[in-house]
Every structure is written in C-alpha cells, then in structure tokens.
Amino acid sequence: MAAATALRKTALAALAAGAFLLLAAGDLALRSRSALNRAEQEAYWHGNPAAKAEHFETEFAKKSPATPRAADLRSAEKDFRITESSAKMAYLWYRTAAEDFNFPGNPWAAKARRALPGALAAWRAELAAKGVKAEPWMTQ
C-alpha cells in the first residue's frame, strides 16, 4: 500500500513538472511571437516613416488628456516615439525574440535569429548616415 502511494505521488509530481514545462514553453513561445511581431513592425516603419508617424498620431489622438500639463507630456511622448530610431528598435526586438524568449524548437525565435544580422546592419547604416561613430560594442 505504501509503495502504491509513493508511486502515485511520484507520478503526480512528474505530471506536474511536465505540465509546468509545457506551460513555460508556451509562455516563451507567445512572448517570442509578440516580440517578433513588434520587431517586424519596427522594421516596416524603418522603411516607411510616414506610416509610423500616422500610427502614433492616431494612437495619441484617441486619448484626450485632462490637463494642459498632461497634454504637453503626451505630445512629448508622441514626438519621441515618432523620432526614435525604428532600425534600433527593430534590432532590439529581434534580439529579444531570439535570445530572451528562446527555447529549442521555437520557430519565432529562429526567425528572429535569422533577421538579427540584417537589423543590426540597418541600425549601423543609419548611425553611419547620421555621422554617429559607433563602436561595435555600442551596438550589441
């Protein structure tokens, strides 16, 4: 009887551990997919800055701030989001999807890993075009 109880507890523990691993893998997959989608959006905006400006103009127009100070802060945030480097953000999101949310067999992490060198090259080219001297360690 005691052996059966111990076996049952071991089986339940193994089942719980397996369920935990499956849930963790699912969570990582969803986070990786989300980061990859964001990276692809930023990469698209890198080539289409007007679409980026339109997106943030629309997003920030939806919410009306209560005070003039809040309106100024929202306007500053909108301007920052529009002028922030899409090439840099695409690289950072690809790196996040490829490295931070990676696990064996994750297709989104693999896709992000393949896009990573191109995104890094685009970011470095953007910096060079602006005349910004960036050492390799600065863009990693």
The single residue listed with the structure tokens 């067999």 is 105
Are 61 and 77 members of one domain?
yes
24 in any annotated domain: no
Nearest Cα to Cα of residue 44 among 119, 117, 112: 119
95 in any annotated domain: yes
Are 79 and 120 members of one domain?
no
Are 103 and 132 members of one domain?
yes
Question: In this model, does residue 117 exceed pLDDT 90?
Answer: yes
Are 71 and 91 members of one domain?
no
Q: Give the mean pLDDT of the chain.
A: 91
Determine if residue 65 is left, alpha or beta; phi over 0 gives left, psi from -120 to 50 gives alpha, anything else beta.
beta
pLDDT for 136 equals 86
pLDDT for 36 equals 96
Are 98 and 124 members of one domain?
yes
104 in any annotated domain: yes
pLDDT for 11 equals 86
19 in any annotated domain: no
Q: Which position has the higher pLDDT, 120 or 61?
A: 120
Which residues span the domain enclosing 91? 86-140
Query: What is the number of structural domains in the chain?
Result: 2
- Rg (C-alpha) for the chain, rounded Å, is 22
pTM, to two decimals: 0.84
Q: What is the pLDDT of residues 40-97, one digit of tens each?
A: 999 999 999 999 999 999 998 887 778 889 888 998 999 999 999 999 999 999 999 9
Token pair, residue 108, equals 């989104």
Question: In this model, does residue 32 exceed pLDDT 90?
Answer: yes
DSSP secondary structure, the chain, as one string: -HHHHHHHHHHHHHHHHHHHHHHHHHHHHHHHHHHHHHHHHHHHHHH-HHHHHHHHHHHHHSS--SSHHHHHHHHHHHHHHHHS-HHHHHHHHHHIIIIIT--TT-HHHHHHHHHHHHHHHHHHHHHHHTT----GGGG-
Please state, for a pLDDT cut of 90, what percent of the chain lies above it: 58
Nearest Cα to Cα of residue 42 among 109, 97, 4: 97
pLDDT for 90 equals 97
Question: In this model, does residue 25 exceed pLDDT 90?
Answer: no
Question: In this model, does residue 3 exceed pLDDT 90?
Answer: no
